[in-house]
Amino acid sequence: MGPDRTGAPSPVRGFVHRDEGYRWNEVAVKEYPATGTVSRNVTKQVLFEADENLPAELRYFEVSPGGYSALERHEHVHAVLILRGTGTALVGDEVRPVQEHDLVYTPPHTWHQFRAAPDAPLGFLCLVNGDRDRPSRPTATDVEDLEKNPVLKGVIRY
């Protein structure tokens, strides 16, 4: 957080609404490369980093129209609040439409992927443990298994 006149960090970081994405003052935006990655059109901002007083991280991801987050699973869980736009949330064997203010929980070891609508962004807050395992990505066999589910066939991106 930025220092004020006394040099102490300010407790407030202002919100900035830009057409290309929600932003907060003094929060860095991470853009994932356009190609060679498992997600498409996603930015990430860490709003609150984990520390000894609060061992959790609050991030904001924004997926631009037509984009999607990586299909992954891991032991740690996500508590998600949709903040902007519309799209779909794949969790386990379900794909559900989501809109602003909906809540999404991803349990341990459960496949998940967030997709923006073709004509709207999808922005969401995502709460995670600071100390967490790395995501794992689907193998060819996993994809084969996932696509046996008619709900997921043709829907997953990987």
Catalytic residue numbers read 126
Using CA atoms, how far residue 59 sits from 4, 78, 116, in Å, is 24, 11, 17
The encoded tokens of residue 56 equal 């959790």
